[in-house]
Structure 1
């Protein structure tokens, strides 16, 4: 009977010895021995791990039998002379100290290779860095079985000299360092000379290279850091072959001689996904280019960052300092914090950042793998970079992309539509773009309650109303405001006022994502009530009633912020007298408000007139509201071409500029004046449509027809293109029907 070392040790209680290792001769345990699975409770009590061995009553009836059994085994030659684990050793049984030996070179190289090349993606990263250092502008990557079976990279770099191929895969061989002092000015990706050496110890490595002055390419195989013959009996020297300029490195059977590491990979598809993530995703259309330099801190940076349309599961930060790939948790956290105000919750950005710093300010010898570096004024530099990224995101991200179902009859192909967000500068024009879908349409039949049954060419709700309620002209058709437009050569000015930027930012922060998406993809149904200014629109499978007066007020306010300082103009010919307009406004106000005998309305006209005359230069520069020195109104700002606000509201608009505008604070002045201007542009409330037999005034009928066409063909398309639906607009939007809910009702009937 033979028992392996430390296979038996004394039990701690219950009279049951505990076995851990495998017994080489099964005859020690007859059929009475019973094995039972490990119990969490008993294992915690006895300190045992693994499988418990229970001896039947015939073999150990109690503690005395166990002690006798252990004494008999100790006196026999069944176990080694050293006591088992858990038993106190005697002085004469202490082992002599083991000798320290140097590991074999092959073992050292494999250990080092395992630390550098953890997975196929790490091998690819090292090879890409070497290719870029060689001046490559094009890379071709071939992967099989997630890189475990084959990993091949071909570049068009400078190539490798034939004389250098003998030591190409030896450790600590590099063309980028000569002395330790060179570390102070390192400007390459890799310089330790361990990438190819590590790969050659754990894979079959083939290198084919050609330099510009070579007449042919040279091919060599490597194993264990040395040149190896392609077949047994052949020479290991590089062989001449056909090839193009550059280097091709082929890695086959990665970790073939490290079976433990090879078995640790779950699937080839998972490793392939990591490789695909390493070489970049399809985000080329969502990247913003930026550059920044600062002489005070001695740095220059350039890079590419994703806009608000891209949102990944984790942050992809490609950071290069002096053209070397490094990592920085500080920069990563700062970038994530910057994007937190632009991306949805949980969304992460893609950032490529190349930072050039004076080498004297950088210490690269602070990490064993040289993955991290330290540099002076780190916090100040990071703050400048994140501030520039934040500014450029505000300038460029004028739209966000949403997936919606096609409105075509029977269409199942998703399309891309864009809902505008508040831009940082007024020179950015939001556009609507569509991209072909890459995903295949599903073959499963969709449920009817999920179909969007709308068509932009179908009849509106007004077409079903009686002729008297519809008006004399059809709702469809081009909008004509009766104005003649002239184009001037006025140059566009960029607004750099901090107050305007803060107002734009407050709109973005107050955005309601779902409501903005609904307006960006809605279908106009029709005007429901012109007196209460209510219209119906469809968003997806839901029907909404919206207060288009409230929506228009917010839209024109945002338009004023976007085009601040760059408005078009309405020019009056002849000019209008400002005092007379203010007097008309006072008369209108007196008719609507109770008359206070102690209130001097004449003084109101004088005070407001003086205030507007004193601010006329500012209003002309920023708001295109020109008043002559003689007190004549020359122009009004033109916010939207094709839509004319009601001039009947002009006197009241000018009168309200006196008491309702905060003229003492810059930010408050701009905000309140833009709100008053937006209120002036809001479509006015019209009286109810006359019943059959009544005749409507010609001017009212004409204005009703103009408003109907403007609301359907100008305002709501503008809402769809660039409205940022803020949270207060929820009060003006009511859901009245839901197709899914209607199906439930019909199913119960």
Structure 2
């Protein structure tokens, strides 16, 4: 039976089956230029995606025209009618024939002008795009003109309002300024028009856009309403302050909890002003009004960074209100990266964001130290109010009063509400934190902590210089590419629980209702490496007085390596190793001084090391080993590998060292006295002091720093282990 079946032999492996040669091949399609009308409609579809985008362009043109009052009229969400009236300087009659042609503008003459553009509109595409997908009419009057002029436009050209009449602008009565009327938007692009679900949704977007510019544009009055309605959706007078504008648009709840911030930095060439909500306010979603060079834009990176900053102040699920206005040097900003100008790119984005977040954190910290709460009165006198405000108390300041007074107070009456099950308890109070966080390090008279009294800080007038090295920028980009979003969120919103094992360098942190064990040695290594990249060339100095002999330090490291090598120690000429490393470091002292703040004299004396973190001093017992490793473990030949390997060694030097476990405690009882006597094992005083410093530095300096600026990479996943994920975990671990 098998012989009767005609089976084709298998084709040789790796060969390609041929097509049927009998089938005719299709003729190649010729490339043709699109009709100009098609080109214009495609371009219009990129710029005017929805009615709100058309309105944004019209508002920006009106503000550019020096208007002090804008009136917006909307019908059917802007699809049927979208009209904006301003009192600006108007348009000359001679310019009206080319008003709606593409790339006609008064703001650019050469491409180089884009590097210093300071206006909203500049490409001359807004009105041109609108005229290709809607019926457009413009009524305008300048101060010098005796009357207003009205013109109709279609496909970028003047058209007559009625058949048989001239298309030239017609004189009519009108006030100074410009009125632009857009009717039947997307009338000739039915697929786009059918995509809009409801006019109310589009009107809400229009209100949001008008509200953004109404908050930002001071001394400009705004009003927006539906066609036929007497009441305005938005009405802001020109004399209103920023806080009053926020109050009228976003409500009293936000306006009553605003904090003003101001930040600037000449190094990065920016200034920032804004109003942000304090820790007493939280909402279900973030309200983010961002203006860069007075242009309303969106930035997911800035928004996420600010939300992470707020995470330590707001309860879980709470979101802030932010209004920010960034003025950046126009030469550093590329505004021509998005068809609708919704996004812009600018130099030193990470540094500017970090600076703004630091200012927000400082502003919130100052406000959040004093907060008002309501407490129920326990007195039975009916004349006493049911609720009285507590006096604001500063965090960390003990309340006065005798403990006996509090112990004699009667307990509050039990409420009739049903007690929830304990497995559903999740603390979400914004003020929830560990008790130990209230016990800040004791400050001496000069403001320094007792643990670092031997450290004296001096501040110089040296201006930080921006890093322009391509190799360093590539290393920074590699860190961003290796970012693990979920782990970064955990680190940026975590609550420090405590150190579990100082020998294995393990700490416990909590993120949400999850408990994690973290290898803080690995975490610190990555953090200090990223600090080295971020502050490259702008480190502080850790000076030694007197300078340390480089040869003696390398000799100490050599003895340590020789003792650890065991039987293989005799195979290495250790004296030659010390001499080679010493010559290598002295020969490259110029590079070390310029980029890494590591000062080595020609005579071989170590004068300074880079200071990566104020308030934390790495173990100087690791210094000899660090210097010795700079010889064989740093690639001095190529620039990128040199910087990467050196920063890795520098980060390893700054990692807190592993400490032996504390001595065990044994308890014995003396029968003759009848009293228990506790014998505590002795610990070396230097180790005990270092243990105290490391514990304090990890909880109060290193982990808060990681929380604010660490980009958790995928490599850190090996050092993080989830040990609990329970709904019943409290927001903060503590026992009262």
Q: Within 5 Å, give how 1:543-692 maps onto structure 2.
A: 543-595=515-567, 596-692=569-665
Paired residue for 1:142, among 73, 82, 101? 73
Residue in structure 1 matched with residue 681 of structure 2 by the alignment: 694
Confirm or deny: 8 A CA contact 2:66 2:88 kept in the other structure: yes
Calculate the TM-score normalised by the size of structure 1. 0.52
Conserved in 1, the CA contact under 8 Å of 2:134 and 2:183? no
Separation in structure 1 between the aligned mates of residue 192 and residue 583 of structure 2, nearest angstrom = 85
Match of 2:34 in 1: none
- Aligned counterparts of 1:225 and 1:123: Cα–Cα separation in 2: 27
Matched with 2:142 is 211
Separation of aligned partners in 2, 1:658 and 1:586: 12
User: CA separation of 1:644/1:248 partners in 2, compared to 1, >3 Å: closer, same or farther?
Assistant: same
Counterpart in 1 of 2:319? Answer: 414
Alignment check: 8 A CA contact 2:52 2:202 kept: no
Distance in 2 separating the partners of 1:730 and 1:261:
46
Looking at structure 2, the residues matched to 711 and 517 of structure 1 have their Cα atoms a distance apart, in angstroms, of: 19
Compute the displacement of 1:685 (Å).
0.7
Superposition deviation, residue 199 in structure 1: 2.9
Contact 2:597–2:609 (8 Å) recurs in 1: yes
Match of 1:199 in 2: 135
State the alpha-carbon separation in 2 of the partners of residues 698 and 715 from structure 1: 24
Distance 1:414 1:679 in 2: 37
Residue 400 of structure 1 corresponds to 305
| Structure 2 counterpart SS, 1:643 | coil
Contact preservation (8 Å) 1:525, 1:536: yes
* Whole-angstrom CA distance in 2 between matches of 1:217 and 1:520: 59
Map residues 364-443 of structure 1 onto 2, 5 A cutoff.
400-402=305-307, 413-415=318-320, 429-430=354-355, 431-432=357-358, 433=360
Three-state SS of the structure 2 residue aligned to 1:594 is helix
TM-superposed deviation, 1:540 = 1.5
Greater Cα radius of gyration, structure 1 or 2: 1
For residues 611 and 44 of structure 2, what CA distance do their matches in structure 1 show?
64
Matches within 5 A, 1:4-19: none
How much has 1:272 moved relative to structure 2? 3.8
How far did residue 726 of structure 1 move? 0.8
Where does residue 708 of structure 1 map in the other structure? Answer: 695
**Cα distance in 1, alignment partners of residues 655 and 636 from structure 2:** 23
Distance 1:552 1:260 in 2: 55
Q: Deviation at 1:484?
A: 0.4
Tell me the CA shift for residue 510 of structure 1. Answer: 0.9
| 2:401 alignment counterpart | none
Quote the residue 1:390 is aligned against.
none
- Give the corresponding residue for 1:152: 83
2:484 corresponds in structure 1 to 512
Residue 458 (structure 1) shift: 2.5
Deviation of the 1:176 alpha carbon = 8.1
- 2:86–2:178 CA contact under 8 A, matched in 1: yes
Equivalence for 2:434: 458
Counterpart-to-counterpart distance in 2, 1:126 and 1:187: 16
- Contact 1:407 1:455 (8 Å CA) reproduced: no
Distance in 1, matches of 2:349 and 2:209, equals 33
CA distance, structure 1, for counterparts of residue 726 and residue 489 of structure 2: 18
**1:209 Cα deviation (Å)?**
4.2
Distance 1:718 1:603 in 2: 41
Structure 1 residue matching 2:570: 3-state secondary structure = coil
Shift of residue 531, structure 1, vs aligned partner = 0.9
Asked if 1 retains the 8 angstrom alpha-carbon contact of 2:89 and 2:143, the reply is yes
> Structure 1 128/563 Cα, relative in aligned 2: closer, same or farther at 3 Å?
closer
CA contact (8 A) 2:84 2:181 kept: yes
Q: Does 1:490 align with 2:490?
A: no
Residue 240 (structure 1) shift: 4.1
Residue deviations 1:470-497 (CA, integer Å, cap 9, x gap): xxxxxxx957422001122333233222
The CA distance in 1 between the partners of 2:586 and 2:192, in whole Å, is: 82
Q: Does the CA-based 8 Å contact 1:542-1:737 persist in structure 2?
A: yes
What is the SS of the residue equivalent to 2:566?
coil
3-state secondary structure, aligned to 1:628: coil
Q: How far did residue 681 of structure 1 move?
A: 0.6
Q: Find the aligned partners of 2:88 and 2:499 in 1 and give their Cα distance.
A: 66
Contact between 1:522 and 1:539, CA under 8 Å: does it hold in 2? yes
Shift of 1:449: 6.5
Residues 510 and 727, structure 1, Cα contact 8 Å, conserved in 2: yes
- The alpha carbon displacement at 1:127 in A equals 11
> Could you give the per-residue CA deviations for residues 485-538 of structure 1, whole angstroms, max 9, x where no partner exists?
112233323322222222111111111111111111111111111111111111
Residue 579 and residue 268 in structure 1: after superposition, are their counterparts in 2 closer, same or farther (change >3 A)? Answer: same
Tell me the residue number matched to 1:305.
none
Q: 2:506 — aligned with what?
A: 534
Preserved contact between residue 210 and residue 218 of structure 1 (Cα < 8 Å): yes
1:430-458 superposed Cα distances (whole Å, 9 cap, x missing partner) = 4343799xxxxxxxx99946655785643
The 1-side partners of 2:313 and 2:83 are apart by 46
Helix, strand or coil at the partner of 1:695 = coil
TM-score (norm 2): 0.53
Flag the 1:251–1:706 CA change in 2: closer, same or farther, 3 A. closer
**Cα distance in 1 between the residues matched to 2:321 and 2:727:** 24
Moved more, 694-703 or 484-493: 484-493
Query: What displacement does 1:404 show?
Result: 9.2
Paired residue secondary structure (2:636) = coil
SS at match of 2:435: coil
Distance apart, 1:555 and its partner CA: 0.8
From 726, 734, 745, the counterpart of 2:721 = 734
284 and 511 in structure 1: CA distance in 2 versus 1, 3 angstrom threshold: farther
SS at match of 2:610: strand
SS of 2:135 mapped into structure 1: helix
1:461–1:526 CA contact under 8 A, matched in 2: no
CA contact (8 A) 2:147 2:171 kept: no
Task: Write out aligned runs for 1:345-360 (5 A).
Answer: none
Q: Distance in 2 between matches of 1:587 and 1:524?
A: 39
Flag the 1:227–1:352 CA change in 2: closer, same or farther, 3 A.
farther
User: 2: distance between equivalents of 1:547 and 1:219?
Assistant: 72
The answer on whether the counterparts of 1:148 and 1:253 sit within 8 Å (CA) in structure 2 is: yes
Which sections of structure 1, spanning at least 5 residues, go unmatched? 1-113, 178-183, 229-236, 286-349, 354-392, 437-444, 464-476, 744-749
1:160/1:211 contact within 8 Å kept: yes
Note closer, same or farther for the CA distance 1:400–1:606 as it changes in structure 2 (3 Å cut). Answer: same
CA separation of 1:220/1:127 partners in 2, compared to 1, >3 Å: closer, same or farther?
farther
Aligned-partner Cα distance in 2 for 1:698–1:630: 36
Question: In structure 1, how many angstroms separate the alpha carbons of the residues matched to 2:195 and 2:479?
Answer: 51
Alpha-carbon spacing, 1:448–1:161, altered in 2? closer, same or farther (3 Å): same
